[in-house]
Amino acid sequence: MALPSSEKGLSSGQRNRPDKDSFKVCFISDTYPPQVGGLAISVRRMAHSLAQAGHSVHVVTVSEALSPGTVHTESDGPIAVHRLGTHKRLRDTLTDWFETAVKLDATEDFDFFHGYFLAYAGYIAALAARYTGKKSVVSARGNDLDVMPFDPNRAPFTFKALEWADAVTAVTRDLARKAQAISGRRDVRVIHNGVDADLFAPSDPDPELRTTPGLDRGPIVGFVGEARAKKGVGRLLRIFPRIHEATGAQLVLIGSARKDAQEMLDFFRRRHPEVPLTVVPPQPHEEMPRYYALLNVVVMPSLRDGLPNALLEAMACGRPVIASAVGGMMDVITDGIDGILLPPRDDDAWVEAITRILQNPEKGERLGHAARQTVLNRFTISQEVEAILALYREL
């Protein structure tokens, strides 16, 4: 499209924006829906929230489903999503990722490159910003600082992302402390996840869903998320026969099960055929409140974690939550007031706490009511968006 005559001859950085307080942002992320996982959900939530506030957002992500090196652009409402096909060799993927972001900036003239997850997205965002003369923000989400600093392949990218970025955010205080320890910088900002408290709200159980096979037997202990080692699902399976024996409860896992997790689940079923275990595949985001309404208690037995979306979603739905005293759980829950925090490896404490909530539903209701108030007071999407925009304005 041709430029107005008054703007011809100006560089892209000199052209007047229609609104001087509106930003053009390029999100760099490993994942984006329909890919599953907390990172994909968080990136989409923030992209749409910024767009609703009048800002322009593009997302550059990678996909193993596309031919290597190809770029497929699609619209997700107001968001332009650019998916890049990955190569067998990581260096080729990273090269294309960087060049795609830089080429896009030549036409879009971004104010910021914002990388979600330090390696590799944060590294690409920081490098693209330095190359184009723009500003960069990198956001630590969890494994990027819990695990990746000890991975010889990813650690260099993690460290450079922290060094080069104009601003660093973290979703928990613990992650901010780790970012500071690694980088030496003292300007790491904690910006917690937010949750749509209108969508995720208390409701009565859906009678039709409650009669679904696997969801129709006794009280339900629910786990929501990816069934993987760090989420503590193996330990939950180990202790659950004791909980079932005391309460008659069934265990429902909602989310994706990786191959190693599936083997673990199959082993559990063979060893404990008397214990009802149901695995519900990942559900559309807007359908999740119906499932939370079924759960008598939500458990999050993570060995380490960032700030899971499922934690805030369950609390916003007024569900009592029992969680490990790790990561972002300690930022959100006040033990005994709006949830229960437990040592992640104390099996007896977990059995006792889950059993107590199932046998005392009034206590669960009190915890759930307080949990929703905590979300409304501290963890709304508007609070998350304003914190990001305040950072952008400072930059």
CATH superfamily label, 207-378: Glycogen Phosphorylase B; (3.40.50.2000)
* Residue of 4, 50, 7, 54 lying closest to 27 (CA atoms): 50
* Residue 13 region by backbone torsions, left for phi larger than 0, else alpha for psi between -120 and 50, else beta: alpha
pLDDT of residue 336: 96
Digit-by-digit pLDDT tens for the chain (395 residues) are: 333 333 333 333 333 444 457 999 999 999 999 998 889 999 999 999 999 999 999 999 999 999 999 999 999 999 999 999 999 999 999 999 999 999 999 999 999 999 999 999 999 999 999 999 999 999 999 999 999 999 999 999 999 999 999 999 999 999 999 999 999 999 999 999 999 999 999 999 999 998 888 888 889 999 999 888 789 999 999 999 999 999 999 999 998 777 777 888 989 999 999 999 999 998 988 999 999 999 999 999 999 999 999 999 999 999 999 999 999 999 999 999 999 999 999 999 999 999 999 999 999 999 999 999 999 999 999 999 999 999 999 99
**What whole-number distance in Å separates Cα of residue 203 and Cα of residue 288?**
12
CATH class of 21-194+380-394: alpha beta
What the block records as the tokens of 168 is 């660093």
3-class DSSP assignment, residue 312: helix
Q: Which residues contact 94 (CB under 8 A, 6 or more apart)?
A: 120, 123, 124
Topology alike, domains 21-194+380-394 and 207-378: yes
**pLDDT at site 20:** 53
Query: Residue type at 295?
Result: L
Domain spans in the chain, listed from the N-terminal domain onward: 21-194+380-394, 207-378
pLDDT at 146: 92
Global pTM value? 0.89
Cα–Cα distance for residue pair 292/314, rounded to 1 Å: 6
pLDDT of residue 391: 97
